[in-house]
Structure 1
Amino acid sequence: MDLQTLSSLDDLLSDVLLDGVHLWFQTHKMSKDYQPLCLPQEAILRIIQKRVIIDRRVPDAVRELLEHARRYLNVYLPSAGFEISQTDRYSALTNKSEACVIATRVFEAGHELRFCAGSIANLTIQEERDLEKKTSDFSVIRTSRRGTCLFLGPARFVNHDCDPNCNFMPVGADVICFKTLKSIDVNEEITTYYGDNYFGVGNQECLCATCESLLYSTATQKTTK
């Protein structure tokens, strides 16, 4: 699946299967012109134009739509063990609420979160630059096997932490889910590690809970001296 197809599918399905039925805010969309709470006709037209009119690959279009829809529908399975929720941790930076993933059951270390999955699409250097200009590079990841990729699906809502409780786990060629690194309690946020320099050099601009705790601890020590 290429960037255009994956982006259009994700905008469409996250709106129809997540924002409109479960969340009280709009999750981040790849298209800056996306209009919430309405039928995303532009996204549908992009899929039809790319996969049907240009590529003439109707079976592929149907398969990709169903596979990506299934990932969002899996969120609602009682056995999924997590839910998409809201966090204001990054609101000072984004000026809005963001999504996060919260455990609804206890997970032991080594558990594979197969229902928390996402699709990846390879990015060219130009596509990566275009995403950075549109500030839509929130789901860009760098892998050792595939290089720079766009990562979309419900798994994209797993936020970064410098002391994560999960890591990325490839499943096949184009799908990534997560594997727990430590036990996770009910109502605990599920997190992963985006990379060493994802938030500036040495992640100095990171806003994760671990960095916040370290900053508070350092400030407290200075105050008590």
Structure 2
Amino acid sequence: MRMNTPQPINIKSLFNVNNQIQITPAELCEADDIGTALVVDQYLGFTTHKMNTRFRQPKVPKDQLKTIIMNFKVHQNYEQTLNEIFAGEWAHSLYAIKTSRMQKIIRQHTVNFLRIFDKQSGYEIKPCYRYSLEGKCGARLCATQKWRRNDKIEHLVGCIGELSSKEEQELLKPGLNDFSVMYSCRKNCAQLWLGAGAYINHDCRPNCKFVSTGRSTACVKVLRPIEAGEELTCYYGDDFFGDNNCYCECETCERRGVGRYANKTTSSDNSSNNSSSSTVSGQQTYSLRETDNRLRRQMRNQVNHRP
């Protein structure tokens, strides 16, 4: 079957939000599913979140697309990599038969996922086995360098789609594909947050936050110093995981014994808490404030004491 020959593109123009095609939420959802399927899923080796609950993974010869991505990590040629990704038979139904406009949107959006593997990105994507909503098999983003407070992680892009009430009903299925939907009080509407930024997990003590870089894009700003190897996290909201985040499974909630872990605290947790607090007549009088250095020491101690 004859495939469409990809047209040359100006990669620098895709990095400039002012030059990007304005797209609808439905187009964003479709492009995101395709980009994650052809890049992120191939690299990790399993299927990550999809907006289309009936999305069918492309049939790709084992490790063929992963090899293309690994080669990109070396040569850093965006245009060559995009052409290789969309030239295979696996891309026929996902790309070749699409309209010219949709092809441009898909390529434009796929660049956001390739930027994860840019040598200058300062972060990487890894498997995450923490969250039950993802079946204990999702993804997380971790720093590959030190980041200072107020740094902006320019290569980590979140793509925003504002949803009308009609689009909410048409596109969202509660509990199935509403993993990355925020509510904007300022604009009084629901917003889709997709792209590479959608892989940032929530934490009740986040080290990052999203900041707008345009009408439909956002990057990540660092809230406090981050060491290489630490996970990048943002705060999703007070009630994102139930009332007062009572179902939250983040690392901070686990450490504090709250959220989903409220009834799972063990005696070892209690003894650990007692080591950093003082009690009088059974009532806590003071406790050590959680600081980055203290938490890192605790993590190192846990690693050193593992059998």
Q: Is TM (by shorter chain) over 0.5?
A: yes
Pair 1:141 & 2:182 matched: yes
User: In structure 2, what is the equivalent of residue 107 of structure 1?
Assistant: 147
Change (3 A) 1:125 1:41: farther
The correspondence of residues 198-213 of structure 1 with structure 2, limited to 5 A, is: 198-213=240-255
Deviation for aligned residue 1:65: 2.8
Q: Which of 181, 189, 198 matches 2:223?
A: 181
Contact 1:111/1:179 (CA < 8 Å) preserved in 2? Answer: yes
Change (3 A) 1:42 1:199: farther
Change (3 A) 1:154 1:167: same
Contact 2:208/2:233 (CA < 8 Å) preserved in 1? Answer: yes
User: In structure 2, what is the equivalent of residue 84 of structure 1?
Assistant: 125
Q: Matches of 2:92 and 2:102 in 1, distance apart?
A: 16
Contact 2:149/2:225 (CA < 8 Å) preserved in 1? Answer: yes
User: In structure 2, what is the equivalent of residue 27 of structure 1?
Assistant: 48
Deviation for aligned residue 1:28: 1.0
- Deviation string for 1:136-181 (max 9, x for gaps)? 0001112344431111111100000011000111111000111000
User: In structure 2, what is the equivalent of residue 9 of structure 1?
Assistant: 31
Indicate the structure (1 or 2) with the bigger Cα radius of gyration: 2
- Deviation string for 1:202-225 (max 9, x for gaps)? 111111111111007983339987
Contact 2:95/2:103 (CA < 8 Å) preserved in 1? Answer: no
Task: With the length of structure 1 as denominator, give the TM-score of the two structures.
Answer: 0.84
Q: Matches of 1:18 and 1:133 in 2, distance apart?
A: 24
Deviation for aligned residue 1:62: 5.0
Change (3 A) 1:70 1:94: closer
Change (3 A) 1:161 1:133: closer
The correspondence of residues 94-133 of structure 1 with structure 2, limited to 5 A, is: 94-130=134-170, 131-133=172-174
Change (3 A) 1:193 1:33: same
Contact 1:8/1:43 (CA < 8 Å) preserved in 2? Answer: no
Contact 1:159/1:192 (CA < 8 Å) preserved in 2? Answer: yes
Amino acid at match of 1:35: R
Change (3 A) 1:32 1:111: same
More displaced stretch, 147-156 vs 122-131: 122-131
CA RMSD, 1 decimal: 2.6
Q: Matches of 2:166 and 2:247 in 1, distance apart?
A: 25
Change (3 A) 1:61 1:176: same
User: In structure 2, what is the equivalent of residue 153 of structure 1?
Assistant: 195
3-state DSSP class of the match of 1:169? strand
Amino acid at match of 1:70: V
Change (3 A) 1:31 1:206: same
Amino acid at match of 2:191: C
Task: With the length of structure 2 as denominator, give the TM-score of the two structures.
Answer: 0.63
Pair 1:221 & 2:270 matched: yes
Q: Matches of 2:25 and 2:93 in 1, distance apart?
A: 15
Q: Matches of 1:184 and 1:112 in 2, distance apart?
A: 12
The correspondence of residues 32-51 of structure 1 with structure 2, limited to 5 A, is: 32-38=53-59, 39=90, 43-44=94-95, 48=98
Give unpaired runs (5+ residues) of structure 2.
1-22, 60-89, 275-281, 283-307
Deviation for aligned residue 1:63: 4.4
Q: Matches of 1:127 and 1:215 in 2, distance apart?
A: 38
Contact 1:166/1:180 (CA < 8 Å) preserved in 2? Answer: yes
Choose between structure 1 and 2 for higher RCO, CA contacts under 8 A separated by at least 6 residues: 1
- Over the matched positions of the two proteins, sequence identity in percent amounts to 31
Give unpaired runs (5+ residues) of structure 1.
53-57
User: In structure 2, what is the equivalent of residue 55 of structure 1?
Assistant: none
